[in-house]
Amino acid sequence: MKNYFSIHDIDSLDTWVNEAIALKTAPLSHNELGKNKTIGMLFFNPSLRTRLSTQKAAINLGMNVMVMNFTGEGWSLEYGDGTVMDQGNSEHVKEAAQVVSQYCDVLAIRAFAKLESKDEDYSEKVLKSFIKYATIPVVNMESATGHPLQALTDAITITEHKKIDKPKVVLSWAPHPKALPQAVANSFVEMMQKMDANFVITHPVGFELASEITKEVPIDYNQENAFKDADFIYVKNWSSYHDYGKVGSDKSWQITKEKMNLTNNAKFMHCLPVRRNVVIDDAVIDSKNSVVIEQANNRTYAAQLVLKKILENR
């Protein structure tokens, strides 16, 4: 594996999940692998979990870590071929990617959707430009359309908690006051299609994800019906894909204890950060069925596994 751009870079999901779970029991067992190797982490957007868990993962492997908040601190980048750069952008990604490749052995990038143009976001301009021009492996720390480190984490967490071979997993949309990207939901949907799960998506009409991603996954527009007998409830807001970037704040979709009572004593999952009492009631996130903190802990081992595979391949 050269890059970790999407979950389709995972060659054997079961093997990867089991390896990640094994890393949890001995996180320093490969701490010579990254000796004298450096990861450069470029953030175009805020982060808590991705930033610290990927740093921790790299440290566990013995790597050096360099982190840069690109927005506001780096030069604003130009991505177009042949652009006359007489406007706002100061540096072309062609030079930036090659220069960073000389300082680092692995490059990790976070660059969210701007939600201004579906075509631009779904072209994955930032990540794909860095992959094109960098001479080192690139890891996606959440791009415009996907969050594959989160999805690998979610597969690990579900594997650890499932009580039957094929659990019922429900991805539920929930309200949010701001326009959020579809990235987490997209990658989760792709991951559930690779796992042995009875997978259902529930959201209001108008919040369908890209059909190229959801494919044949059933969509139930009745949230309470979808929750019946579920083993896992995975909650996430996303803005509209079809009416691109439109906010969805219908409070009737908020996750409550009453809705969780319809499930088969389901585990509650969310990638975090989450707005309490907007997306989800305190009573749910604070309940014994909430695994959000364990889920966040698994971010380290998902990232560590990806970095380990990249280092072993070099």
Q: What residue numbers does the annotated binding site cover? A: 47-50, 75, 110, 142, 147-150, 176, 236, 271-272, 275, 299
Window 85-144: residues binding ligand CP (CB under 6 A): 142
Nearer to ligand CP (CB atom), residue 132 or residue 275: 275
Window 49-68: residues binding ligand CP (CB under 6 A): 49-50
Size of the site for ligand CP (CB under 6 A): 9
Question: Measured between alpha carbons, how far is 168 from 124 in angstroms, rounded to an integer?
Answer: 32
Question: Measured between alpha carbons, how far is 239 from 176 in angstroms, rounded to an integer?
Answer: 9
Contact 124, 158 (CB under 8 A): no
Contact 152, 181 (CB under 8 A): no
Nearer to ligand CP (CB atom), residue 203 or residue 270: 270
Least distance to ligand CP, CB of residue 50, Å = 3
Quick one: which of 131, 271, 279, 292 contacts ligand CP (CB under 6 A)? 271
Site map (CB under 6 A) of ligand CP, residues 137-176, x = contact: -----x-------x--------------------------
The CB-nearest residue to ligand CP is 50
Contact 226, 157 (CB under 8 A): no
Q: Which residues are annotated as a binding site for N(2)-succinyl-L-ornithine?
A: 142, 176, 236, 275
Question: Measured between alpha carbons, how far is 13 from 19 in angstroms, rounded to an integer?
Answer: 10
Ramachandran sector of residue 164 (left: φ over 0; alpha: ψ -120 to 50; beta: rest): beta
Q: Which residues are annotated as a binding site for carbamoyl phosphate?
A: 47-50, 75, 110, 147-150, 271-272, 299
CA nearest 24: which of 289, 308, 268? 308
Pairing of strands 77-78, 64-69: unpaired
Rounded to the nearest 10 degrees, what angle do helices 13-25 and 292-312 cross at? 110
Nearer to ligand CP (CB atom), residue 93 or residue 269: 269
Nearer to ligand CP (CB atom), residue 48 or residue 85: 48
Rg (the chain; Cα; Å): 20
Quick one: which of 272, 274, 278, 283 contacts ligand CP (CB under 6 A)? 272
Kindly state whether residue 48 participates in binding ligand CP, applying the rule CB under 6 A: yes
At residue 312, φ and ψ (nearest 5 deg) are -65, -25
**Interface residues toward ligand CP, by CB under 6 A:** 47-50, 142, 150, 271-273
